[in-house]
Chain A
Amino acid sequence: MSTTAHKYLKPEDIRRLKNYDIAARFMVEGWMSGRHSSRQRGASMEFHEYRAYSPGDALNLVDWRVYARTDRHYLRTFEQETHMELHLVVDGSGSMGYPEPPAGTRAEDAPLTKLEYASFFAACLAWLVVRQNDRVSLQIFAEDLRASFPPGSTRAHLYRLLNALEENQPGGETSLAHSLERLHARLGRRGTLVILSDFFEDPAKLFQALNPFLHRGFRVHLFHVVSPGEWDLPALGLARLVDMETGERLTLHTESLREAYQQNVRQRVERLRALSAGRQVDYTVARTDRDYFHLIDRLART
């Protein structure tokens, strides 16, 4: 693939991505033939094995030459070749716009918002999947699914996704559980679900919404996008904090609550981690002050 000029897919990132090869285990088979062999038997050019005929088997699979030699019915089975299907679910709620750059800050000097960080990461994943002729879809949600792109593996499809990421602006409240319920109805086949969110969501509701995906054999990866300011609570002194999703206001002295807040954040992360481990869901904290390639490294090792 040639280099692009998309905001979330920088040429230097593409150069780095060329060295990656997403491991098969990260993804779950799709339905179309591709470069990944599947344990499911089906129609392909690769012979798998002979097996004795059973009533009901398709007659076109019977190897008549073997029958002629042995007078027995054997079926020729072939390995079914599939391709991966990756579903990117990106949180586009208002809280993902954190941190807002201070007034007067140049765009290149401003720290990445959580949404930008998630978009960079999603773009890289999409590029990797398309490069391997696999299929990738993109779902952007807030209080509901805001944008939905079905799986595709073409370059044009990739560009559409990249454009969608670029055009996406943070806004609205988070309702991941509701969005997942909606998404479940749309996804026909199983695949890999990558959710990029700040998870201001009741963990119980979240996993309740994930259960149908897990039952269908989806592989789920949760990337908890966290800004350092959220992780530690900045020392602002007495400040009036405005909720970026709801516009609620809260006046407090951040120093006095800082330790308790940090403790609360860590406990919530631990809870998410524990719930994920119990359901064999991969959970990763993605701090926006760290290079998102470490997340790709992590996936590559999976």
Chain B
Amino acid sequence: MSVLWLNSALAGLLGLAVVPLLAHLFARAKPKIVRFSSLKWLREVERRTARLQRPKDWLLLLIRTLAIAALALAFLLPVAFHGPRAAAAGDEKTVVLVMDRSASMGWTEKGQSRLSRAAAIAGEILATAGARTRANVIWLDGQPEAVFAAPGVNLRALEDAVMQAQVRPEAGDTASALRLAVEQAGLGQGARELYLISDFQATGWDGVELAVPPNMRVFKLKVAEEEAGNVSVASVTVEPAHPVAGVEVRVIARLKNDSGTTRNATAFLEFGEARDSRPVEIAEWSETTVSFRLPGAQAGILPVSVSVAEDEFPADDKRSTVVKIREALKVGRTPEEAEPPALWQRAFEAFAWTRWTGVAVKGETDVVATLPVRGGHVQDAIRAADEGTLVILGPDAGWTADDLDLISIHDAEAGAATVRQETRKRPGEGWKLRLADEESEIWRVFGQGEFGDPAAGGFWRRFALPKLGESWTVLMNYDDDVPALAMKKQGRGAIILWNLELDSEHSDWVGMGAFLPLLGELLLGTASAGDTTVREFPPSSRLRLTASALENAAIGQAGVDALRLLDDDGAQVPVEVGGADEGWQSTGTLGPGSYRWMAGGTVVERAVIGFPASESDLRTLDTELVTAGETLPETAGYALSGQRDGLPLWPWLLGICVALLMAEGWLARQPIREQASTEGLAPQAKATNPEPRRMAA
């Protein structure tokens, strides 16, 4: 803090501070003389109180000196500046305000949201900026943008924009906003001032580097006061991811406690018409998982949401998703291939929720199971997976190097890779299996041993495959590391590489009992089954509907003309034609929730936008950790006028002077209490009570 003395010519007044000392000395030297009857009794009192009188005199002298000094200083008109002076109100300058309106600004402190406080500060800055000021406001949200293309003189419009600002349910892109703000400030003239008005949420500001030109002043105004505690629903997942009617479904929610105290909460589930709740205790700065088990539901598209009781930050108290429960998984084969083994077909028919359909139909079949896929047809399998189908393919000795490349199977050491079938003679020892990825969810059901051991049994025939690419997740290997079962994501679907012999002549693995449970888990866990109706979008996204999705929906031109985007509550969201493939998109970014594209009465596609998890952690950063600028107190008007015109200190000094004089008056009136003395005052006690002396002896 620096102090400017506006009236420094009167510095000589400080000499008045010695007046009390001089008065003290002279008054003692020449006090008024009063004749008094006898000083005998006064001397007694004075002798007894002298020890206390002197400190009191010195204290009075000090108070009087300070009071006079404060009064003299007040005449010098001191003005305090918190840090270096800002451009005065009358100077030509460019002011750029970065105003945070990310989700965390919705936190309410003392009955007022952080955004409201930020708006008040921004309004104050703009209102007091001065006539020769150009200004602009940069919104700090998911997609930072400026209100004006360049700093303008219409500060009133900026004030209105600031006052009407709404919290966006998005994480702020701090770096982009600051970059844009510096650019905007560079476009202006005169002194340049950059104001950062934010809660300085740690997740958004930590590590942000602010490169500011030397001629630009940066002021940081933090609008967060309290340590904000928050409980949020961090995620909601459904297992299996693509359930089938009649199969038990688990809804798993992650609840997060972003506070320094253990919190008790109740998680509420809404799953279609079903309701459930669970009390949970979440330790400080940690998260817990709540699992709801639901009996098999009927086929259909059901909204799922998990919520906790509302707290001071309700934006993240509820998280939704949509799950499509299919009637059954339709399993077929590619038309080019022969019928798979009868056992394979019987296996699919053994599940109540699968149906063998024979030749697969594009857009209808959920799983294509082809054992083996002959050389040259791998491309067809991959295309089906790209479109969202789960493809179970068996290797074939006729696979070419191109086929292997297509599905990322290669042998980097041997160069061109090949697939060959190997056999061993029975009853000699066959190849054994071992689990490669024991943490995989696939094996969870086998944990208790109830469904057998998937690695039990031996194989006397198999395909020797080269090393699989990194995109593959190997689930089981043979004991010589040849992959036996692996899977990979492919487009919107997945591929399972099935190198497990089912023929009982060459394997006793099927007879060990783990075959069917393993197949069931693989189907339920990985079959996205070409689900094109529910799409997840990241926070602060524009929702898009591709033209191909409209084609697949086969809704005709009339349906396209009536295309609407509706939110959770059925309210229509504005859309426009656009996007990469001339599809449709929402005109702006949307908040968390579930949305659906409707063409007439048909749901073309469902979309879900989640709340940005980073915004749930409301901890804020010390503004000094932001690399540039000076921190101002939140009381913006006070602070800014202090920066521009300085804070006049004379009223404070005057107040101090008055307070000191009042203290002096009070202290001077305080009598000196006589110390306990019996000198000449208690004759009876002295004469008749020798007890104390006797006791002392």
Q: Identify the A interface with B (CB < 8 A).
A: 95-100, 114, 174, 198, 200, 202-204, 227, 229-230, 233-234, 236-246, 248, 250-253, 255-261, 263-265, 267-268, 271, 274-275
Across the interface, A256 reaches (CB within 8 A) one of B28, B43, B53, namely B53
Across the interface, B46 reaches (CB within 8 A) one of A198, A238, A242, A250, namely A250
Contacts of B45 on A, CB cut-off 8 Å?
Answer: 257, 260-261, 264
Q: Decide if B38 touches A242 in the complex (CB within 8 Å).
A: no
Q: Decide if B684 touches A265 in the complex (CB within 8 Å).
A: no
Q: Decide if B669 touches A255 in the complex (CB within 8 Å).
A: yes
Q: Count of chain B residues with Cβ under 8 Å from any Cβ of A?
A: 34
Q: Decide if A251 touches B31 in the complex (CB within 8 Å).
A: yes
Q: Decide if B683 touches A268 in the complex (CB within 8 Å).
A: no
**B7-50 to A contact mask, C-beta < 8 Å, 1/0:** 00000000000000000000110011111111111111110110
The distance from the CB of B14 to the nearest CB of chain A, in whole angstroms, is: 26
A268 to B36, CA, bound (A): 18
Q: Decide if A268 touches B34 in the complex (CB within 8 Å).
A: no
Across the interface, A250 reaches (CB within 8 A) one of B39, B669, B671, B680, namely B39
Which B residues from 653 to 672 make CB contacts under 8 A with A? 668-669, 671-672
Q: Decide if B28 touches A238 in the complex (CB within 8 Å).
A: yes
A243 to B39, CA, bound (A): 6
Q: Decide if A251 touches B39 in the complex (CB within 8 Å).
A: no
The 14 sampled A-B contact pairs (Cβ below 8 Å) are A95-B37, A97-B37, A239-B31, A239-B34, A242-B36, A244-B35, A251-B31, A252-B46, A255-B668, A256-B56, A257-B49, A257-B671, A260-B672, A261-B41
Q: Decide if A243 touches B38 in the complex (CB within 8 Å).
A: yes
A260 to B40, CA, bound (A): 14
Q: Decide if B683 touches A236 in the complex (CB within 8 Å).
A: no
Known: A198-B38, A230-B36. 5 other contacts (CB 8 A): A174-B38, A241-B35, A244-B36, A264-B45, A271-B680
Contacts of A97 on B, CB cut-off 8 Å?
Answer: 37
Q: Decide if A239 touches B37 in the complex (CB within 8 Å).
A: no
Interface residue? B674 (CB, 8 A): yes
Q: Decide if A267 touches B681 in the complex (CB within 8 Å).
A: yes
Determine the residue in chain A with the shortest Cβ distance to B683.
Answer: A271
Across the interface, B38 reaches (CB within 8 A) one of A200, A237, A261, A264, namely A200
A256 to B50, CA, bound (A): 11
Say yes or no: A261-B42 contact (C-beta < 8 A), given A204-B683, A271-B683. Answer: yes
Interface centre among B39, B46, B669 (most CB of A within 10 A): B39
Interface residue? B673 (CB, 8 A): yes
Contacts of B31 on A, CB cut-off 8 Å?
Answer: 238-240, 251
Contacts of B53 on A, CB cut-off 8 Å?
Answer: 256-257
Contacts of B39 on A, CB cut-off 8 Å?
Answer: 241, 243, 246, 248, 250
Contacts of B37 on A, CB cut-off 8 Å?
Answer: 95-99, 114, 198, 200, 227, 230, 244-245
The distance from the CB of A299 to the nearest CB of chain B, in whole angstroms, is: 25
**B327-371 to A contact mask, C-beta < 8 Å, 1/0:** 000000000000000000000000000000000000000000000
A233 to B683, CA, bound (A): 25
The distance from the CB of B399 to the nearest CB of chain A, in whole angstroms, is: 111
A237 to B671, CA, bound (A): 13
Q: Decide if A256 touches B671 in the complex (CB within 8 Å).
A: yes
Determine the residue in chain A with the shortest Cβ distance to B671.
Answer: A259
Say yes or no: A271-B36 contact (C-beta < 8 A), given A251-B31, A257-B45, A264-B45. Answer: no
Q: Decide if B36 touches A241 in the complex (CB within 8 Å).
A: yes
A267 to B35, CA, bound (A): 23
The distance from the CB of A162 to the nearest CB of chain B, in whole angstroms, is: 25
Q: Decide if B49 touches A260 in the complex (CB within 8 Å).
A: yes
Across the interface, B683 reaches (CB within 8 A) one of A229, A248, A274, namely A274
Interface centre among A114, A243, A274 (most CB of B within 10 A): A243
A271 to B678, CA, bound (A): 12
A296 to B172, CA, bound (A): 100
Contacts of B35 on A, CB cut-off 8 Å?
Answer: 98, 100, 241-242, 244
A271 to B669, CA, bound (A): 29
Q: Decide if B41 touches A98 in the complex (CB within 8 Å).
A: no
Contacts of B56 on A, CB cut-off 8 Å?
Answer: 256
The distance from the CB of B362 to the nearest CB of chain A, in whole angstroms, is: 107
A267 to B53, CA, bound (A): 22
Q: Decide if A241 touches B34 in the complex (CB within 8 Å).
A: yes
Q: Decide if A203 touches B33 in the complex (CB within 8 Å).
A: no
A275 to B668, CA, bound (A): 37
A271 to B38, CA, bound (A): 18
Contacts of B33 on A, CB cut-off 8 Å?
Answer: 239-240, 242
Contacts of A246 on B, CB cut-off 8 Å?
Answer: 39
The 8 A-B residue pairs whose C-beta atoms are closest, nearest first, are: A259-B671, A98-B37, A95-B37, A260-B674, A241-B36, A243-B39, A200-B38, A240-B31
Which B residues from 638 to 697 make CB contacts under 8 A with A? 668-669, 671-674, 680-684
Across the interface, A239 reaches (CB within 8 A) one of B32, B57, B682, namely B32
Q: Decide if A95 touches B671 in the complex (CB within 8 Å).
A: no
The distance from the CB of B339 to the nearest CB of chain A, in whole angstroms, is: 118
Q: Decide if A260 touches B671 in the complex (CB within 8 Å).
A: yes
Determine the residue in chain A with the shortest Cβ distance to B684.
Answer: A274
A203 to B679, CA, bound (A): 13
Interface centre among B40, B53, B57, B683 (most CB of A within 10 A): B40
Contacts of A263 on B, CB cut-off 8 Å?
Answer: 674
A172 to B33, CA, bound (A): 20
